Amino acid sequence: MKKKNKEAEPGAVPGLFGDIVPAPVPAKSGPLAFSYSKMSLYEECPLKYKFKYIDKIKEEPKFYFAFGNSIHTALEFLYSVKAPPFPSLEELLEAFRQDWNLKSYLEKGYRTPQRAEDDYQKGLVMLRAYYEHNRAAFKPPFLVEYSTDVEVDGLLVRTISDRIEHLGGGEIVIIDYKTGKDVKRQPSQLYMYQKISELDPRLKEKIAETYGQRVGAVRVRQLLYYHVPTLKEYTFERADDKEIGGFWERVLGVADSIKSIKFDPTPGEQACAWCDYKKLCPHFFGGHPQPAQRPPAAAENIEVLVDRYGRLKEKMDELQAQLAEVAENIGRAAKDGGEYAGSSYSAKVKKNSKWEFRDREAVIAVLNQFDLYQKALSLTLTGITHVLESDALPEPARKKLLEQAVKKTGYDIKVTKKPGA
Ligand code: SF4
């Protein structure tokens, strides 16, 4: 029997496994895990945030992240010294080489080995230039790749600073390496660093441990973006209380929306162009934008339309139930299928078996676990069935997918009206 349509739940959007009902934000008793990049993604598109952070569907690897990460790792290695001497240039390049070789070009997100090799060579040139340009000024930093989680206003905010220098008396400079084409001024990222660093109790302890100074407070004097490709420094002075206050209101607004499970898509040319979730997104059914929605009906007609909708829906449910029953009877009579004719219609009946997947979250978890998500993102429900039935599927993955699948026998019935009927 065909299942009756369930009432759509609030905020549900059509998806691969039927309606995607917003997954509740995990009901942890603790604060909401938050960061600047999470906020930026939510502001770009709440649904994209949901796919990434709530459903935990992996994005495809991006070569520019892989490149930036390897440069960061090499610079972390360079500055991870408590006292001179610093690593030699060869050792720095070796650190880069080792990190670069941890993944294949495809795992890094390159389309061809040549593109990856070009970037690898570019990285070597960049690091050589960095080393030569800065070697005279090398001095052990206060902190390198400093990651901290600070609890504030019901949020657990994570910041990761590439490097922090202590100027004395609790005053610090935060250095952030940039490896992209250009450095865009991003004051809001600076505000996040400033707010969190100044609230972070561990920073005071670290100053005491490293320099033997007990400071009453930590104060960010500057944030410095270091653009590695051009060896240029972009310095920003600390923000005033008004700027930080305005920024924090924005943070709390985004956090409230996440806690209230508001994940409606906000399509934009730029955001959608680079979005890996197009195939799951209701705005991009089948990879193409849906036609523009018709304007809502005039407010004065809404009561009439509601009644009409209700009546049509009742009729449709009734017809669908009848159709399912007749189809079931045809299937039973036709057994393995065939061609049959009534007085007005003829029908081709074909027996088939279909997989059905009950638990969308569980299927996504299996796809993620076995790195099949790239295929799944570009596939429909039928495609998932192909993944399941593919010879190339590893046995453990097949076993886990089968735990979520139910095989159903059904019939495809194609009817045509007889000429003149
Ligand atoms: S395709 Fe566009 S609207 Fe859909 S989730 Fe991605 S960014 Fe949002």
Confidence at residue 306, expressed as pLDDT on a 0 to 100 scale: 81
Confidence at residue 195, expressed as pLDDT on a 0 to 100 scale: 95
Task: Provide the pLDDT confidence category of residue 324 given band limits of 50, 70 and 90.
Answer: confident
For the chain, helix, strand, coil in percent to 5 are 50, 20, 30
Evaluate if residue 109 carries a pLDDT over 50: yes
Count CB-CB contacts under 10 A for residue 6. Answer: 10
The CA distance from 289 to 287, in Å, is 7
Task: Provide the pLDDT confidence category of residue 166 given band limits of 50, 70 and 90.
Answer: very high
Nearest residue (CA) to ligand 1, atom 2: 272
Widest distance between CA atoms in the chain: 98
Evaluate if residue 241 carries a pLDDT over 50: yes
The string of pLDDT tens digits covering residues 365-386 is: 887 788 776 665 545 566 677 7
Please tell me the distance between residue 384's alpha carbon and the centre of ligand 1 in angstroms.
Answer: 21
Evaluate if residue 196 carries a pLDDT over 90: yes
Cβ–ligand 1 contact at 284 (below 6 Å): yes
For residues 354 and 103, the model is more confident at 103
Ligand 1 atom nearest residue 276's Cα: 6
The CA distance from 7 to 21, in Å, is 11
pTM of the model as a whole: 0.64
Nearest residue (CA) to ligand 1, atom 4: 281
Please tell me the distance between residue 370's alpha carbon and the centre of ligand 1 in angstroms.
Answer: 25
Ligand 1 atom nearest residue 46's Cα: 8
Mean pLDDT of 119-136: 97
Task: Decide: residue 293, CB within 10 A, 0-12 exposed, 13-18 middle, 19+ buried.
Answer: exposed
DSSP 181-226: S-----HHHHHHHHHHHHH-HHHHHHHHHHH----S--EEEEEEEE
Cβ–ligand 1 contact at 271 (below 6 Å): yes
Cβ–ligand 1 contact at 265 (below 6 Å): yes
Cβ–ligand 1 contact at 264 (below 6 Å): no
59 SS3 class: coil
Cβ–ligand 1 contact at 355 (below 6 Å): no
The CA distance from 20 to 385, in Å, is 19
Give the chain's mean pLDDT: 84
Please tell me the distance between residue 35's alpha carbon and the centre of ligand 1 in angstroms.
Answer: 20
134 Cβ contact list (under 8 Å, min separation 6): none
Q: Which of 76-80, 128-132, 375-379 has the lowest mean pLDDT?
A: 375-379
Nearest residue (CA) to ligand 1, atom 5: 48
| Greatest mean pLDDT among 148-152, 232-236, 312-316, 375-379 | 148-152
Q: Give the residue, out of 45, 51, 54, with the most ligand 1 atoms within 8 A of its beta carbon, to mutate for a pocket test.
A: 45
Cβ–ligand 1 contact at 52 (below 6 Å): no
Contact 44, 167 (CB under 8 A): no
Q: Which two tokens stand for residue 340?
A: 């049959």
Q: Which residue, 170, 207, 165, 195, is CA-closest to 35? A: 195
Cβ–ligand 1 contact at 41 (below 6 Å): no
Please tell me the distance between residue 113's alpha carbon and the centre of ligand 1 in angstroms.
Answer: 30
Confidence at residue 149, expressed as pLDDT on a 0 to 100 scale: 96
Cβ–ligand 1 contact at 357 (below 6 Å): no
